[in-house]
Amino acid sequence: MNIYSLPGLISFTLNFSLAFIVLMNAPKSTLNRWFSAFIFSFALWNIAEVIILNSQAENTAMFWGQILYRIIFLSPAFFVIIAYHFPKNFHPWAARPLFYAAVFSLPVLILSLSFPDFQFRLVSLSQTKSIYYFQLSFAKNARFILLLLISFIYILWGNWILITKISKIRIIRSRNQTRFFTVGMIIVFFSYGIIQIVHPFMYGALSLYFLSTFITFLIAVFFFIAIVQFHMFRPKKYLSSGLSYTILSSFALAVYFLIIKSISDSLVQYFNIDSFTLSGLLIFSLVLVIRPFEKKLKNLFDRKLNKDIHQYRKKSLQLFKELQVYAEPQDFFKFVESFLIKHFYIDSVKSFYLSDEQDSFIEANEEENTPQISGSCYFVKELKRYKRVLEFYELDHHALDTALHSYLEKNRIQLILPLIFDNRLLGILLFSKKKFGLEYTEDEIEIFNIFASNIAGAFQRDNIIRQMRDHYKEHFQLEKLAALGQLTAGIAHEIRNPLSTISTSAETLLQPQISPEDQQELKQFIIEEVGRLNNILTDFLNLSRIRPPEFITLQAEELVEFLEMNLVFQEDEAISFEFKINPPKTSFISDPSLLKQILLNLGINAVAAIKKRIGQDPEFSIEKAKLECRFEITSKNIHLYFTDNGIGIPEEIRDNIFEPFFTTKDSGTGLGLSIVQHLTEAIGGKISVESKPGKTVFHLQFPKKIQQKEFGAIE
């Protein structure tokens, strides 16, 4: 086997593999069968060339030359049949066996009449006389001229069928495939014809060999690009592995010819060693060397083969990351539109999203004269049925709403992308034509389908967030109204009692014959109740007008001293007051005024609880009363424990003590502890209580350092 066979072997490997892949992709498909046979005919052409180049006997070379001669003149018939079927058959009669027989009958008849004179001769390559190559002879007899004429007519016929199909096909992918296949076949047939016409003027048979070999290799590459790049067929199962091993096989053949042949020739020339076993060992050794690179070669091939897909995956990840941030529908789709326009050179993108209130799809940017798309119209039903990118021309235009049809045509919409999540259509993206006269590729349409799931998922997440936000907003409004109602009822209840006393006292004062002593007592009642009203309003204003905190650095000792001066020493009888600070002299940041008000309110409540216990428990006296204020300061938090040994808080009312106007005192307003809770939250803390008869502990926890971004204070 000589070096001249190398291009033919590589072409045969590619064509045979591609023919097998196309056939196995859909064995029952008429188009796949004929296309596979068409490619296989070229593989047979390649192997015939290889055998001719390696034939030692002229008879063997002539026999395969006759086979090659038949293949050359039968290939236009294959082309005509494929032209009718690719990518779609618009003529039902072209699928009948009678049509196939009619197409092949003329070339087969003339080839039969030409037997055995096939206008075919063998020529020797200039350097090696024993190596034959074929050459067609242009005879002037009627049979040969008729055969050439029929082949030429068939080529024109097939290309005419394909060209007329381009304007009829509305699917972008199919139109691109047809255009590429038509141009490719024109170039192949035209190039081969030119070579046969000018070969008499070439310098020797070797020049003809190189040009013819180039054409056969060009045909193999053309089929490879047509199937892989333009996705004429979708052999998902065989594409990656089959073509990868095709490349590897071709590479192994090249290694054999370029290295093994050189080594074998050197052994024969210099050492007179011509051993078949030695050549086999050399081949086996090279295979072992090549094997580790197989995976890398396949990965490289996959990256090159799916270069656009890998790029689009990166874009998909970028889009998915940027969609993680919540946005309102208008902002969400505005970003999606700008992303698609930027990365895919689309002239414009229109977005519609589902409005549950109206059961229709509304335009995200709210442009004028934009129709609403009903949720039950034909257009929406088709999108739900296909669940993929649809081309405008795939729809039945007569079934479309008139206003929607006009809108789609006015905006030159070409692709429609449904955004479906969990079998629910959430939105619709409309793609116009691309900029610069470009057309959408199959890879782009695939990636749009991938984008659709990402976009729909992100939009559904935003919908859930919006629903939760609206629910909590409504719930919060109801809570606010309930709290306002409770607050109003509390104020009315607390004001009504003093007003009733004032009214009764005033009416009594108007009665004649009231003694001066009674008048004085009634006036005193009025003054006391007015004071009570003033206290109620003061506490209410303190609750509703808590000022923003002002954080400064302070020490716990300052708070304890304030509490002693304003609480314990004001009582008629001294109450034991203890305080603990751990560690002492430790500074922290808070609002001293609000903290003092908190401690004072807690202290007032504690004293009241102690006095109530004294009144109810004969064994408990003021001497046994005790208050304790304990600070535990950690690296991050301040823990304040305020303890008294008063009457305690019953368990059944413990959860209500922080509610406004809730009180167990005869003369209390019920706002003290509510104010304490609000003040504690204002300085970033929280409050809890534990109580049993004879002991109550209020626990306040707030941060040692206040973050500026949260509270607007310095650290």
On average, the pLDDT of the chain sits at 77
Quick check: 443 pLDDT over 90?
A: no
Q: Is the pTM of this model over 0.85?
A: no
What pLDDT is attached to residue 714? 32
Q: Alpha carbon of 502 to those of 26, 490, 492, 525, 699: distances in Å?
A: 99, 19, 15, 7, 40
CATH of the domain at 663: 3.30.565.10
| Mean pLDDT in residue range 582-588 | 84
The percent of residues in the chain predicted with pLDDT above 90, rounded, is 11
Rounded Cα distance between 525 and 624, Å, is 35
Domain membership of residue 31 (yes or no) is yes
CA distance 593 to 609: 24
Out of 172-181, 213-222, 263-272, 460-469, which region has the weakest mean confidence (pLDDT)?
Answer: 263-272
Q: Worst-scoring range by mean pLDDT, 21-30, 193-202, 393-402, 513-522?
A: 193-202
What CATH number should be reported for the domain holding residue 422? 3.30.450.40
Contact between 27 and 20 under an 8 Å Cβ cutoff? The reply is no
Out of 180, 202, 234, pick the residue that ends a domain: 234
Q: Write the CB contacts of 110 (distance below 8 Å, at least 6 apart in sequence).
A: 143, 146, 147, 150
548 vs 666 pLDDT, higher one:
548
Residue burial 282-294, b: 16+ Cβ < 10 Å; e: rest? beeebeeeeeeee
Count of domains observed in the chain: 5
Q: Residue 486: pLDDT above 70?
A: no
Cα angle 65-227-444, degrees, rounded to a multiple of 5: 165
Check pLDDT > 50 for residue 713. no
Highest mean pLDDT among 160-164, 461-465, 504-508, 521-525: 160-164
Average pLDDT over residues 607-635: 87
Q: Which residue, among 399, 429, 675, 702, has the nearest Cα to 556 in the 3D structure?
A: 702
Q: Identify whether residues 290 and 357 lie together within a single domain.
A: no
Are residues 25 and 152 located together in one domain of the fold? yes
The parent domain of residue 558 ranges over: 552-711
In this structure, the answer to whether residues 511 and 457 fall within a common structural domain is: no
> Do 371 and 404 touch, CB atoms closer than 8 A?
yes
CA torsion sign, 184 to 188 to 193 to 195?
Answer: positive
* Per-residue pLDDT band at 346 (split at 50, 70, 90): very high
- Are residues 464 and 357 part of one domain? yes
Residue 215 and residue 125 share a domain = yes
**313 within some domain:** no
Looking at the fold, whether 647 and 664 belong to one and the same domain comes out as yes
Residue 118's CATH number: 1.20.1070.10
Same domain, yes or no, for 590 and 631?
yes
Is pLDDT at 158 greater than 50 in this prediction?
yes
Question: What is the per-residue pLDDT across 75-126, written as a single tens digit (0 to 9) for each?
Answer: 899 999 999 988 888 888 888 899 999 999 988 888 887 665 556 666 666 5
Do 703 and 559 share a structural domain? yes
Q: How far is the C-alpha of 588 from the C-alpha of 583, rounded, in Å? A: 12
Q: Distance between CA atoms of 31 and 37, rounded to whole angstroms?
A: 10
Check whether residue 342 and residue 243 sit in a common domain: no
Query: Does the pLDDT of residue 564 top 90, yes or no?
Result: no
Strands 695-703 and 686-692: antiparallel
Dist CA 320 CA 653 (whole Å):
52
Same domain for 661 and 569: yes
Tokens standing for residue 680 = 């504690």
476 assigned to some structural domain: no
Residue 431: enclosing H or E segment and its boundaries?
A: strand 424-432
In a domain, 474, yes or no: no
Residue 81 CB contacts under 8 Å (≥ 6 apart), including other chains: 34, 94, 99, 100, 103
- Asked whether residue 84 is assigned to any structural domain, the reply reads yes
> In terms of domains, do 447 and 354 share one?
yes
Between the ranges 3-17, 120-134, 261-275, where is the mean pLDDT highest?
3-17
Domain with residue 516: its CATH number is 1.10.287
SS3 content of the chain, % helix, strand, coil (to 5): 65, 15, 25
Q: Are 234 and 156 in contact (CB under 8 A)?
A: no
> Quick check: is 484 in a domain?
no
Mean pLDDT of the 139-155 span: 82
Please give the share of the chain, as a percent, with pLDDT higher than 70.
Answer: 71
Tell which wins on pLDDT, 349 or 300: 349
Helix (H) / strand (E) containing 630? strand 626-633
Burial of 195 (0-12, 13-18, 19+ CB in 10 A): middle
Taking 60 as the threshold, does the pLDDT of residue 256 lie above it?
A: no
Of the two residues 415 and 501, the one the predictor is more confident about is: 415
Q: Which of 274, 305, 336 is the last residue of a domain?
A: 305
Answer whether residue 573 is part of any domain: yes
Same domain flag for 154 and 127: yes
Residue 358 in any domain: the answer is yes
